[in-house]
Amino acid sequence: MAVLTGAGISAESGVPTFRGPGGLWKDYKPEDLATPEAFARDPQLVWEWYNWRRETIHKAKPNSGHAALVRLEIQKPHFTLITQNVDGLHDMAGSGRMLKLHGDIWRMRCTVCGSNWPDRRATLPKLPPHCGCGGLARPGVVWFGEPLPEGMMQEAEHATLEAQVLLVVGTSAQVYPAASLIPLAKQAGARVIQVNLEPTPYSEIVDCALEGAAGEILPRLVE
Ligand code: BJW
Ligand code: ZN
């Protein structure tokens, strides 16, 4: 079994999603800030957005949806959690077998020497942060136009092709290549179950589209 999660699974923990209500920060859309071009133009602005998000995520705790996926991992011999989320709430809930397609907001990376390191402070005291080598640091996440961490999409595709069921939770399924796992699973003959508050571009092709909150539906599904 494979599970693909998106920002919607963390919404009930108080983490704003990207698209829809609460997705904007100071009138900027994520597409305006989550790009290498935006960072090159104005690293201070992009870091202010990340600092605001770090504060919000730092206060958040995993919810019953995250917990249900931990139980599922214990129940199923073959299980892979594929997440687009960078918030670390799956880790905090106790998920172990996990692919983080879009990186981790709690890691930093140097734009000069390439070294990377963890930093879990809710707010960074000085923006923009720098590496020991003096180079500008960036969040350890994947922005639009950047490749996913090496080999990770292949691992996600492999897990999807092996799975008899793909459970898709809380993603608008608009960002690629992550969203491509949904038609891939269908083509490979897997059953696809979607859990979302609203329809997505794939609602028509999935086997079962459950409309509702992940924190309510997932615990019932796992029972
Ligand atoms: C609930 C709920 C509740 C709420 N319960 N549900 C093919 C076609 C078209 C475009 C492309 C393509 N291939 C690539 C592209 C370009 C681009 C892309 O996809 N663009 C589209 C927007 C058109 N993709 C990329 O650039 C990717 N890279 C790439 O392709 O590289 C190629 C390359 C190869 C070699 C060299 C160079 C390049 C990278 C994509 C990176 C995405 N990054 C972000 C930011 C991460 C860092 C950060 O967090 O700051 O990732 S963008 C943002 O979107 C974030 C998310 O992970 C991602 C997905 O969002 P998600 O999770 O779906 O959230 P929302 O908000 O959209 O949806 C929430 C859903 O939850 C909603 O449906 C709600 O209804 C629901 N919901 N409450 C259940 N309680
Ligand atoms: Zn450095």
Ligand 1 atom 58 nearest Cα: 175
Number of domains in the chain: 1
Average pLDDT score over residue span 82-87? 98
Q: For residue 116, which ligand has an atom nearest its CA? A: 2
CB of 6 closer than 6 angstroms to any ligand 1 atom: yes
pLDDT range class, residue 177, cuts 50, 70, 90: very high
Which of 58, 78, 90, 102 does the annotation list as catalytic?
102
pLDDT range class, residue 22, cuts 50, 70, 90: confident
Torsion of CA 82, 106, 56, 17, to 10 degrees: -30
Q: Domain of 176?
A: 2-222
H or E element in which residue 211 lies: strand 208-211
Which of 52, 69, 89, 175 has most ligand 1 atoms within 8 Å of its beta carbon, as the pocket-test mutant?
175
* Paired residues of 209 in beta bridges: 194
CATH number at residue 26: 3.40.50.1220
Q: How far is CA 55 from CA 6, 50, 118, 156, in A?
A: 20, 9, 16, 30
How many angstroms does the Cα of residue 35 sit away from the middle of ligand 2? 20
CB of 213 closer than 6 angstroms to any ligand 1 atom: yes
Least confident range from 12-21, 40-49, 63-72, 144-153: namely 12-21
pLDDT over threshold 90, residue 23: no
Say if CB 171 and CB 198 are below 8 A apart: no
Using a cut of 0.75, tell me whether the model's pTM lies above it.
yes
H or E element in which residue 165 lies: strand 165-169
- Lookup: tokens for 20: 């829809």
Q: Which residues contact 179 (CB under 8 A, 6 or more apart)?
A: 171, 173, 201, 202
How many DSSP H helices and E strands does the chain contain?
9, 9
- In the chain, the percentage of residues whose pLDDT exceeds 90 is 94
How many angstroms does the Cα of residue 149 sit away from the middle of ligand 2? 19
Q: For residue 135, which ligand has an atom nearest its CA? A: 2
Q: What whole-number distance in Å separates Cα of residue 207 and Cα of residue 92?
A: 30
Residue 139 CA, distance from chain mean position: 14
CB of 4 closer than 6 angstroms to any ligand 1 atom: no
The 10s digit of each residue's pLDDT in 87-145 is 999 999 999 999 999 999 999 999 999 999 999 999 999 999 999 999 999 999 999 99
CB of 14 closer than 6 angstroms to any ligand 1 atom: no
Q: Which residues contact 216 (CB under 8 A, 6 or more apart)?
A: 64
Can the peptide bond before residue 128 be classed as cis, meaning omega within 30 degrees of 0? yes
Q: For residue 113, which ligand has an atom nearest its CA? A: 2
CB of 179 closer than 6 angstroms to any ligand 1 atom: no
Q: Is 102 a catalytic residue?
A: yes
Which of 5, 56, 176, 194 has most ligand 1 atoms within 8 Å of its beta carbon, as the pocket-test mutant?
176
pLDDT over threshold 80, residue 21: no
